[in-house]
Structure 1
């Protein structure tokens, strides 16, 4: 069996990761992935370590600690997986969400090396003041407060040195492991591990480029240009690059400091409503939204104004996906379990014949929430229940919707923290109603009619040309019919083995019968040479019989 590691450096890294996973009690996971020889090597290393305490904690905590110890790539992977509420149970999601915290800081001198090399000059020639004590530290970057020579107070976000090379190496290794696991195990392939890793790679590449984060911030800022109560920090592009982001310093109250919010005299109900409306507008109207609006990414300013920060993780919805989400929510309102099930299966890209009892599960879910007053509905609990049903049926959501579900949960939690009576369903209702009305607005219907007519004209006018090409291919013998049957090679191999066994059994039977007939001659009537052939026939039939029994036994084991 081939190894998922390629180069010696990847093999060494995989061994290090195996060691960490075994220390935290996840050795079976490695065996399941087919890297037994590395597990054994890591086990020899661990024989000298007391890792009993590491396996005493519950599995979600051990998983989070293991990811922290495995380094920045896996911390970011855990953060991405914290959005996959369709794959992990709530207790795992809660632990994975903690991965944004507890990242050790780097000394200022080590941090600025790559940035100064890129700038071609010391940072102190750019800033009038740059605090060496960080405001915060993440798995990819650190933030420091500074002052530009023009007097503006700013926050400088600097990428950790060497982090790009480390992440690229780990991404190659993760890609190899995902491909290896998909090919070796059908039950792993159902969850599309290669797609998850690709989604993670795209996300982390965007986060590594701080210029992209700046453009994300400006896109959202333009959306709220007419709203005096929602803002984003200004980006100073003269000093912003791939490795460094310089943004306006927000002198406000952090959303995570509820005591300061209370002491500042903020209207908690009002800012909860304004924040929810802002995020819902991003989702349903702009289709470009902040994917992690937790309290640590929000500041409150005088006048109950709200400023969102940290746009490294954003989500983007297509019009079709947005409409499907609206259909799903209204399908629940109208008690259309068949419609809800159809949308979920479409998202998961699977065959409904494999999920015949999903509709009854969804129907029971809808019955449970119907008749409950809006003020008693818990949107987070409803989301967990819905995704629990999907997990039980081995269904996975597209990445854009997992980010949306994550943003919904973060928004609902932040709203309830500010206002215990916060009702996400009631706040979201006007946005959903507007989308339904817009879908059937005369101008939109007319546009769809024009598009449909244009496509129809193209189809009709292009039909003679397409038929001509089809006939020409048939005349040249280039037209062929292909039938792709899933796992056909596997079944053909089984048929081939069965035919071989049947043929062997017929040959053995013929040998036995022929030898028996020959041996039935008595004494002098049978030539000496013929008796030898009769004995050889019996011996061959015995050997063939043993081979046939062994082949059937071995095939049964596989």
Structure 2
């Protein structure tokens, strides 16, 4: 309790900033509903609920995006995560979230120099004979400087902004609390699974702030492409890499967005699209560890039609079982197997509370419309987007790892078609899908899964006598309890308890008023030392009790 109070006081200033931005963009009602207004008013803040006219005219997705930009780096990163949740938000929302640019004004080199000296244990000029003080790029969490080693090797230094971690941690605490309040008090927003989204975001952002973790991710993927010279990943210089600084080789090539330079240098666009798609598909379907943001800004094209991937701050992970499920789903889409597609989607969504027949029928009709369409004519990203829309319309959502995967597939096909308008994503993916399905049914894989199942069964059987013994002992001693919790009934009980408390205090207040009036009328000499009348003291207590009842009713009305 004490630690929570200290945390709340510590974050109060940031809470005021967040509420002020939300109000400025026309979300004052949301601030009131989640209780932030009351907290700020108790802290002596005066809020104005009317948004400027030019902001009020924006569509809701644009207003939310602008608000996230003003709230700072943590919320910009949150918007980028929300852009991957195509299962929760429609295209107009994800498109707007995708516009969030992770850019920030560059810090003075003196601040960066101090951070580098602290991280390296010595001045950076002792390590790098040449270091450019002007950054190559400046983002919300870090900025990048170019340097050269003593042997002339060009490198880049990705340096975390000084003092950014406490700000991010404060924002994460507030977001976690905000998500709890939204789920409890805003039923119409509960379908967006705010607590789950914030948990995913917290893990992702903390991992992104650890630059040594980014280096390990890059090396893990690089090891899988060691025998494929057409795929290039920057080498990490571990002697200078830490949580706050990442030192890696500088990639010299054509930025992924500069297609004019690709044509001017004579690179083969079709081959680049094929190699890039194959690399990402291998990461996803064979390795289960993939670059989750393969957009043109994270790619370089090199001589010899080679492709370099950079920035491994956002990566995805898929278990072997999940990769098999993904292969079944995509193969079912390509081969028009509606039942398999529907079964997998329902399993991923945790099942449906009601009748699943309408969803099955809609998916069957969706898959049937592609019957007879050649693979090359399939728009893979549009097909996935339409499928997720069906899921969203039925109130279902994907697990976070799969939502990230779907976004990666859509980004990958967009990149492929940008290089080659005739790019065939379905055709490129089919061999990988078939390979996963065949490997899943291989004798060795069957034996391995059977052995794991047998071990689990044996462990269960071995522990059964002990579990039964404990159950019987609890039953004999009367310690066996069965607890059934009905959440709506519990909430009703809490509200009833609050109502009874108010009623009891109202009765006491009324009794004090009547009693005090009688005392003042009958015995004017009754007084405490100092001349304070018992009657007036009773009236004072009644006023305080009445005010408490009124404030309690007002606050309850604001929440419910």
TM-score w.r.t. length of structure 1: 0.82
Distance 1:45 1:188, change over 3 A: closer
The Cα of 1:282 is off from its aligned counterpart by 0.3
- Whether the aligned pair in 2 keeps the contact of 1:374 and 1:426 (CA below 8 Å) is yes
Aligned: 1:471 with 2:444: no
Aligned pairs (5 A) from 1:140-289: 140-289=141-290
Q: 1:463 to 1:24 in 2, by over 3 A?
A: closer
Displacement after TM superposition at 1:494 (Å): 10
- What pairs up with 1:452-491 in 2 under 5 angstroms? 452-490=453-491
Decide which moves more: 99-108 or 245-254. 99-108
Partner of 1:135: 136
Given that residues 76 and 102 in structure 2 are in contact (C-alpha distance below 8 angstroms), is that contact kept between their aligned partners in structure 1? no
Return the offset for 1:24. 2.4
- Aligned equivalents of 1:256 and 1:413: distance in 2? 12
CA RMSD of aligned residues (A): 2.9
Deviation of 1:486 (Å): 4.3
- Secondary structure of the corresponding residue to residue 107 of structure 2: coil
Shift of 1:198: 1.3
Radius of gyration: which is bigger?
A: 1
Distance 2:290 2:7 in 1: 38
Give the distance between the partners of 1:100 and 1:389, measured in 2 at CA: 29
Task: Name the CA shift for 1:65/1:39 in 2 (closer, same or farther; >3 Å).
Answer: farther
Q: Post-superposition shift, 1:84? A: 0.9
Say whether residues 1:409 and 2:410 are aligned partners. yes
- Please name the residue that 1:51 is paired with: 52
Q: Deviations for 1:333-385, whole angstroms, at most 9, x for unmatched residues?
A: 45454443332232222434165522222222212233322222212211221
Residues 46 and 190 of structure 1: CA distance in aligned 2, closer, same or farther (over 3 Å)? closer
Q: Deviations over 1:467-499 (max 9, x none)?
A: 4443333333333333344433356789999xx
Aligned residues: 496
Aligned pair 1:430/2:431, yes or no?
A: yes
Contact 1:31–1:39 (8 Å) recurs in 2: no
SS of the counterpart of 2:280? helix
| 1:25 aligned onto 2:15 | no
Compared CA separation, residues 162 and 335, structure 1 to 2 (3 A): same
| 1:463 shift after superposition | 4.0
Alpha-carbon distance between aligned partners in 2 of 1:63 and 1:464, rounded to the nearest angstrom: 57
CA distance in 2, matches of 1:79, 1:216: 20
C-alpha change, 1:333 and 1:274, in structure 2 (3 Å) is: closer
3-state SS of paired residue (1:383): helix
Distance in 1, Cα, partners of 2:360 & 2:497: 40
In structure 2, what is the Cα distance between the partners aligned to 1:404 and 1:35?
A: 35
Structure 1 residue 43: Cα displacement: 8.0
Q: In the superposition, relative to structure 1, how do residues 474 and 153 fare at CA in structure 2: closer, same or farther (>3 Å)?
A: same
In the superposition, relative to structure 1, how do residues 145 and 452 fare at CA in structure 2: closer, same or farther (>3 Å)? same
Distance in 2 (alpha carbons) for counterparts of 1:241 and 1:461: 46
**C-alpha displacement of 1:448:** 2.3
Q: For the Cα contact (< 8 Å) 1:144–1:157, is it kept in 2?
A: yes
Deviations 1:67-104 (A, max 9, x none): 11111111111111111111122122222222235432
Check conservation: 1:130, 1:145, Cα contact below 8 A: yes
- Label 1:4 to 1:268 Cα distance change in 2 as closer, same or farther (>3 A): farther
Please give the residue correspondences for 1:280-319 in structure 2 after superposition, counting only pairs within 5 Å.
280-319=281-320
Cα 1:460/1:200, change in 2 over 3 Å: closer
TM-aligned CA distance change 1:496 to 1:153, over 3 Å: closer
- Helix, strand or coil for the counterpart of 2:478? coil
Alpha-carbon distance change, 239 to 184 in structure 1, aligned in 2, over 3 angstroms: same
2-structure distance, mates of 1:238, 1:287:
28
Residues 100-130 of structure 1: CA deviation (Å, up to 9, x unaligned): 3543222222333223223333222221111
1:422 is paired with a residue whose SS is coil
Structure-to-structure mapping, 1:377-526, within 5 angstroms: 377-490=378-491
- Distance change (3 Å), C-alpha of 1:475 and 1:220: same
For 1:496 and 1:321, the matched residues in 2 are separated by 46
2 CA distance for matches of 1:55 and 1:273? 45
State the alpha-carbon separation in 1 of the partners of residues 126 and 442 from structure 2.
57
Question: How many Å apart are 1:135 and its aligned residue?
Answer: 1.1
The CA distance in 2 between the partners of 1:30 and 1:441, in whole Å, is 56
